[in-house]
Structure formats: structure tokens, C-alpha cells
Chain A
């Protein structure tokens, strides 16, 4: 009798949790549905309402003045920041996971701190540095890039390090036992195993960079990135074209994730 009750209780809690979880997911997805819907809206307006259906935004997203320039700038900065942060961060992750050195706990705190600082503080301190170093007039592409590499770095280290510490050392040992030297072991065994972690970290870095507003806005000078463009228009009539970019970003990243998964499964089967 009690066993049945307990089992019934478990069934209810089990499904209750899933039900609540799905509601929370719905909460997370409501705004994304709006983004997709609004990408087909035919009028820019201050109230931001759906007026009527059109495909015009999709066929000519650049019709919103200045938007595509901003997107291009964000893409450039995003790619460069991703390369920089992934390179520096991966090296650091290897040092942290695979090497003994003094001051390791200080290094840990140093890597954690940027993730634990409010963006407004990081942005304002960088601006304070640039201003006091006499670069107040040269704010722009370079200063944005410096800032982006800085705040992406810690996330890359954490992501790659997690992959490294979850890895089985046995495979590397085996390679060494089979007379591979350190260099060969690294390129033939270690690197391919860590690679998915590095790709994940790079994707994360890119999305952080592409999406950043608070820090970027402080150090951007006259340059305009896509988030800055969105901020600028958010007070006026909001052009529905921004939602085309939002939806396209979503589609591209889902495509990348799905492709990565397909490649992974194919490799596992082979």
C-alpha cells in the first residue's frame, strides 16, 4: 500500500518537475517567438506592435539605414575577438589543467574576477584607463577589440579547462607507451580530444562579443556596433529589420550546433 503511494508520489513529482521545467522554457522562449514574428512586421513604430505581414524585411534587411554597417562591424570585431580570446584562453587553460606552477590559486582568482565583475565596472575602468592614457580621442575599433578579448578570455579558459579536466589521461599515457614523443602525443591525441571544447569556447566567445552592449558602449567612441545600433533605435521607431538579424543569428547558430552534432555522431560511428 505505502509502496504504491510512494510510487504514485514519485510519478507526480517526476512529471510535475518536468511540467514546471517546460513552463520555464516557455518563459525563456516567448521573447524569441516575438523576435521571429516581428521580423515579418511591415511598419516601424514606437509602440513596437505587429501591424501587418511582409517579407520585405527579409528580402532587403539593409533598408534600415546604417544597420548593415553596424552588423558588419560587429562581425569583424566578433571574429577577431574570438580568435584572440580563444588563442590566449586555450593556452591558459592548458597551463592551469596540465602544469604545476606557483601562484596557481592567484591565477584562479584572476581568471574568475572578470566573470564576477559587473560589466559597467569593467567598461568604466577601461574607459578611465584609455582617458588617463590620453586615448580619449582615439576610442573606436581597437579599443572595442581590446575590451572584447578581455571579457571573453575568462569564459574560454573555464570552458576549455573543463574539457581538459574531464579527459581521460590514459589515452595520452598509452600514446607515450607506444613511443610517441610529447609533440606527437599532443597533436595526435590531446589536441583532437580537446578540440570540441575549443570550438565550444570559440562559439561562446563570439556570441558574447557580438552581443555586448554595456562595455562596448563605454569604449566605442564614434564607432557603432549592432547592439549599439539597436539601442539607438529603441527610443525611436523600432525598425523590424533588427529582428531579421536576430532571427538569422538564431538560425545560423542552431545550424552550427546541429552540424557539429552530425559530424560528431558520424565520427563516433566510423
Chain B
């Protein structure tokens, strides 16, 4: 089973516990070289190109070519025109992350502490959705949430939804889809850090007259914080940039920033699309920095 090892929370923490054996040689650099080159060439250089593309003259086209005119106006336009979409992306991404945490924590907790010999079966069940195409699974939600579907019928019967209330093509459907899609990215790091906790610490809290809720709040929860931080980041970042769920489960009224970037690239408006993309990246980076600072887990990186 590799699942518990997939997202051990960035990796920085492991290094502190287990310093690598002192082998200072050229081998290290040689081993690192090919992968590093690949990441430099196809991750870092493209990011730089993206930034420079975002400063091209917006009048350029694929045929006439683009000119770097340091058109910072692209950013002003991007933020002016698409402020709603940016807000919506952060809001939906944030809500999906919150729900994923509320759903994922009990699941990860149960796998780590209560599953006994079913531990690996449950872990396998958590990663099993990865094995079917996520587009097909998102399409399945389209069927499950349909107006004639069981879920809508039940909710109408319970008067949670009005008689003509619907789920498909609404904001809740989009948030539900986002939560669903990125839930495993929440559960795996949570599990990894819960599983590392020495159970004797929790028992000791009980011996010292902590009630189970107290022991959870004062011992288990703080010790699982690296998993919470890693899980929320791995959920929030892709969720905020997603446009699949809006397209399949929402309507144009729920348009997120990912949809705009995608359609602008499709239409060949590279400078505007690049400006949006860079802004999204910066927004997310700023939020992540702020969050890591607040959560006090600088060692995550």
C-alpha cells in the first residue's frame, strides 16, 4: 500500500527527524540534474513566459505575432472585468475546502484509529475514485442531482427544497462537485498525520482526567495540524482553479475564473488570458502564505 505515503505533508518534517547520512558527493547533484532540468524547462521557464505574455500588446494575434509592450493595463483590465469571477473562485474553493475538511477529518480519523484490520481496505476505498476518470464521475453527479433524481425528490419531500427547487445547475451543486472531486486530497494527508500520532499521548491525556472531547481538542487536533494544513492546501488550490464542475454542474451564473482563462486561451486572447492566470497564481500564493503564517507551520515547505 502506498496511499499513506502519498502526501506526507510536504516532506520537510521528515527531513528534520531523519537527517540523511552524511554523503557529500557529486552523485547527489547528478541524480538531481535530469528532473531539475525538466522542471526548470517545463515549469519555471513557462511561468516566466506566462508573465511576459501577460504584458504583451493585447492587439496581437497568433497570425500577426505578439509584442512585448509591458502593457500593465492587461492586469487592470483583468481585475476590472473579472473581479466577480475571482471572488467566486475563492468563495467556492474556500467552501469546498471547508466541507472537505468537515467530511474528511472523521473519515481519516476512523481509518487511523478505529478501522483495525479494515484499515487498508478503507484506504483503498479512499483512493479508488482516482481510478475512474474524474470527468465521468462528475457527469455521474449530473445524473444524481437531476430534477427527477432520488436526491432532489427526498429533499423536496423533507421540504428542504421547495416543490420546484432544484440542485443541478445551481451554486450548491458546483460546491458539492468541487468538494467531491478533491476530497481524497484532503483525506490522505490527514490520515498520514493522524496515523503518525502516538496513541499513548491520547491515553495519557485520558489518564490525566481529560474528557475525550478535551483530549481531542488539546492533543489529537494540534498533532494533526500538519495534515490539516497540507490537506486544505491540496484541496483549495485545485478547487479555486477548477472550471470543470461549473461547466458540468453549474450554469454561466456560477462562472469561475478558470472558465474565463480557458475560454480566452481558446479564443486566442493570450495576453488577457495570461494576465488572468498570473493574477490567479498570485492570489493563491498570497492566501497560502498568509494561511501558513497563521497556522504556524512554516516547516511545511
With contacts A21-B110, A32-B137, A121-B281 taken as known, whether A153 is within 8 angstroms of B39 at the C-beta atoms is yes
With contacts A88-B35, A91-B34, A100-B20 taken as known, whether A166 is within 8 angstroms of B270 at the C-beta atoms is no
How far does the alpha carbon of A88 sit from the alpha carbon of B40 in the complex, in Å?
13
A-contact 0/1 string along B108-141, CB 8 Å cutoff: 0111011100000010111011111111111111
With contacts A31-B144, A100-B22, A127-B265 taken as known, whether A89 is within 8 angstroms of B42 at the C-beta atoms is no
Asked if B243 is an interface residue, CB under 8 A from chain A, the answer is yes
B-contact 0/1 string along A189-230, CB 8 Å cutoff: 000000011011101100100110110011000000011001
Q: Are A34 and B143 in contact (CB under 8 A)?
A: yes
Asked if B175 is an interface residue, CB under 8 A from chain A, the answer is no
How far does the alpha carbon of A99 sit from the alpha carbon of B22 in the complex, in Å?
7
Enumerate B1-52 residues with CB–CB distance to A below 8 Å. Answer: 1-3, 5-8, 10-12, 14-15, 18, 20-25, 27-29, 31-32, 34-36, 38-39, 42-47, 49-50, 52
Contact of A32 among B34, B129, B233, B262 (CB under 8 A): B129
Q: Give the interface size bracket for A toward B.
A: 35 or more
Q: Chain A interface secondary structure, helix, strand, loop or mixed?
A: helix
Asked if B250 is an interface residue, CB under 8 A from chain A, the answer is no
Q: Chain B interface secondary structure, helix, strand, loop or mixed?
A: helix
With contacts A35-B140, A120-B280, A231-B135 taken as known, whether A128 is within 8 angstroms of B32 at the C-beta atoms is no
Asked if B94 is an interface residue, CB under 8 A from chain A, the answer is no
Q: Are A9 and B43 in contact (CB under 8 A)?
A: no
CB closest chain-B residue, reference A253: B131
CB closest chain-B residue, reference A217: B262
Chain B residues within an 8 Å CB radius of A108: 10-12, 15, 301
Contact of A249 among B39, B115, B131, B184 (CB under 8 A): B131
Name A residues whose Cβ lies closer than 8 Å to a Cβ of B.
6, 9-10, 13-14, 17-18, 20-21, 24-25, 27-32, 34-35, 38, 47-50, 87-89, 91-92, 94-101, 107-122, 124-129, 131-132, 136, 146-147, 149-150, 153-155, 157-159, 161-163, 165-166, 169, 196-197, 199-201, 203-204, 207, 210-211, 213-214, 217-218, 226-227, 230-231, 234, 238, 242-243, 245-247, 249-250, 253-254, 257, 261
Q: Can you pick out 29 interface pairs between chain A and chain B where the beta carbons lie within 8 Å of each other? A: A6-B212, A13-B212, A25-B122, A28-B180, A28-B184, A29-B125, A34-B140, A34-B143, A35-B137, A35-B140, A99-B23, A107-B32, A108-B10, A114-B43, A115-B234, A116-B288, A118-B284, A120-B241, A121-B277, A121-B278, A128-B50, A129-B42, A155-B6, A158-B8, A207-B130, A214-B241, A238-B139, A254-B128, A254-B131
